[in-house]
Amino acid sequence: MDGPGGNIPEYGVGELAGAIKRTLEGAFQRVRVRGELTEVKPYPSGHIYMSLKDENAKIESVVWKSAVSRLGLKPENGLEVIATGRVSTYGDRSKYQLIIEKLEYAGEGALLARIERLRLMLLKEGLFDAERKRPFPLLPNVIGVVTSERGAVIQDIRTTLARRFPRHLILWSVPVQGEGSAEKIAAAIHGFSALRPGGPIPRPDVLIVARGGGSLEDLMAFNEEIVIRAAAECTIPLISAVGHETDTTLIDFASDRRAPTPTAAAEMAVPSRVDLAADIAQRGFRIAQCIAARLRESRLHLHRAERGLPDLPSMVNQLRQRLDDRGERLRTALPGFVLAKRQEVARLGAHLRHPREAIASGRNAVQAIDQRMNAAWARNLARREAAPALARLSPAPVLGLIRERAARVEGLAARLEAVSYNAVLARGFALVQSTGGKTITAAAEVSPGAKLTLTFQDGAVDVSAAPARPVQGLLF
C-alpha cells in the first residue's frame, strides 16, 4: 500500500481495545491511588461503582462483589482514602477504570473528619443523651466481657475482679481490629443483650467492651456506626474501656459509663470487698447507736409517763375487794329479801277477806239496793194518779242497770276466787305458820317439837312438829 501510513498495521476495534487493556495492566499492575470518593453507587448485583478524584482529575472505579467483604472500610461519598488495585479498561465504552481491591483511610485527618461527621449525626439522633444512661447494680452476679481472648486485656479484668470481688465472668471473644471486627463486636453486644434470665447461659448484669491501646486506625472498629448503635440498643448496662486514658472513641459516648482502661472498667463493675465490708460494719455500728439512743429516749419517756399514772395494781386490788364485799352482801341479802317479801305476803294474806264474804257482802248490797228500788217503785205507783207523767215511766232501764251491776259483781268475785289462796286450800293443801304468824315454806325451818298452825279451807288446827324425814318416791 502506497501513501502515508501504508506500513501501519490494521486493528479491529476489539483488538485495539484488548491491546490497550493489556498495555495498561502490564504497565501499572497493582497501584495505590489517593483521592476522595464520590458517586458511590452499590448495585443489586453486589458490585459497587464509584469515582476517585482530587483537585486535578477523576478516575472511575469499581469494586467487584467478591472483593467487597475484604475492602477494610465502607465506601462513602466525601471520604478521603487510599485505594489499592489495578488499572484496567472497559472496552464497551472505551474508558479506563480502577478495579479496587482494598480501601484505607488517607491519614489521620480524614479519619477524624469521618468520626466527627458520624458523631454529629448520632448526637442529633439522641444516641448520646444522658437520659439513656442506665444505672448499675451494686454487686452484679455475672459480668460479660466483649474483647479478644488473646492479649492482656482479659487478664487484667480477671485479676482485678479476683482482687476486688470475685464474680462469674463470661467472655465473648471477638477480633478488636481489622476487617470485619466491627460487625463481630456489634454481634457480640446484641448476643449478650438477647440472653434471657434463667437460660442455659447466664445473662450478665454488667457488660464490658474493652481493648488495649493503639493508633487511631487500630481503634476504628469502635468508631463504626454499627458498633455505636449496638451499644446504644443494648439492654444491659454497658461500660466502654477502649484504648488508654487519652483515647476517645464514639462507643464511649453511647455506653452507660466510660472507663479509661480495662482495669478501671473492672473496678467500676464491682465494689471492693474490703471497702464494702468496712462500710457495712460502719453502717451497722451507726444503726446500733441509733437504736440504743432511741431505746434510751423511749425509756425516759416511759419513766416520765409512769410517774403521772395512778397505782394500777392498788386500784385493781381495791376494786377486787369491793367486788368481793358486794358479792358477800348480795349472797346474804337475797335470802333476807325473799323472806321479808314472804312475810309481807303472809301479813297481807291474813287481812284478806274470804271471797265468799266479799261475794255475800256484794249480794247483800245488791239486795239492799233492790229493796230500796222496789219500795221507791211502789211509792211511785201510789202517786200515779196524782202525777200522771210518772205513770208513763218504764222500770226496764233500772232493771237492766241492776242486772249489769250484778254481772260485774259476779265477775269480780270469780277473779278474786281464782287468785285467793283459799282456792288452793280447797284442793287439799294447807297453810303452815309458826305461832308468831310466820309462814313456813321449808322443812328445814321447823325444829322438832315446834308449835305450828295449819290452816285448811274450813278452819285452823294447832299441831306439834315431829322430826323431819326425807321425801321419797315422788313421781312427776
For the stretch 300-327, pLDDT in tens is 988 888 777 777 788 888 888 888 888 8
Strand partners, 371: none
Contacts 24+ apart (CB under 8 A), 468-473: 468/443, 468/444
What whole-number percentage of the chain has pLDDT above 90? 24
Q: How far is residue 288's CA from residue 396's CA, in Å, rounded to a whole number? A: 111
For the stretch 73-98, pLDDT in tens is 778 887 778 888 888 877 677 777 88
Between residues 271 and 367, which one has the greater pLDDT?
A: 271
Please give the average per-residue pLDDT across 406-420, as a whole number.
Answer: 75
Confidence of residue 3 (pLDDT cuts 50, 70, 90): low
* Residue carrying the nine cell digits 348480795: 330
Has residue 39 got a pLDDT over 80? Answer: yes
Closest to 414 measured CA to CA, from 362, 350, 348: 362
Are the CB atoms for 247 and 213 separated by under 8 Å? yes
Highest-scoring range by mean pLDDT, 111-125, 192-206, 374-388: 192-206
Query: Please, what is the average pLDDT of the chain?
Result: 81
Closest to 60 measured CA to CA, from 69, 68, 51: 51
- In this predicted structure, what is the pLDDT of residue 135? 92
- In this predicted structure, what is the pLDDT of residue 184? 92
Please give the average per-residue pLDDT across 108-116, as a whole number.
Answer: 73
Closest to 377 measured CA to CA, from 397, 358, 361: 397
For the stretch 40-85, pLDDT in tens is 888 888 889 988 887 778 888 889 888 888 887 778 887 778 888 8
For the stretch 354-378, pLDDT in tens is 667 777 777 788 888 878 888 877 7
Has residue 277 got a pLDDT over 80? Answer: yes
Has residue 295 got a pLDDT over 80? Answer: yes
Could you give the strand order of the β-sheet that contains 460-464, starting from the edge strand earlier in sequence?
431-434, 451-455, 460-464
Please give the average per-residue pLDDT across 259-284, as a whole number.
Answer: 90
- In this predicted structure, what is the pLDDT of residue 84? 87
Which segments of 12-131 are extended strands (E)?
30-42, 48-53, 58-63, 80-90, 95-105
Confidence of residue 157 (pLDDT cuts 50, 70, 90): very high
Residue 138: helix, strand or coil by DSSP? Answer: coil
* Residue carrying the nine cell digits 324425814: 469
Please state which of the ranges 26-30, 31-35, 277-281, 370-374 shows the lowest mean pLDDT. Answer: 26-30
Has residue 30 got a pLDDT over 60? Answer: yes
Has residue 388 got a pLDDT over 60? Answer: no
Query: Helix-strand-coil percent breakdown of the chain, rounded to 5?
Result: 50, 20, 30
Q: How far is residue 225's CA from residue 186's CA, in Å, rounded to a whole number? A: 10
Whole-model pTM above 0.75? no
- In this predicted structure, what is the pLDDT of residue 475? 37
Between residues 445 and 291, which one has the greater pLDDT?
A: 291
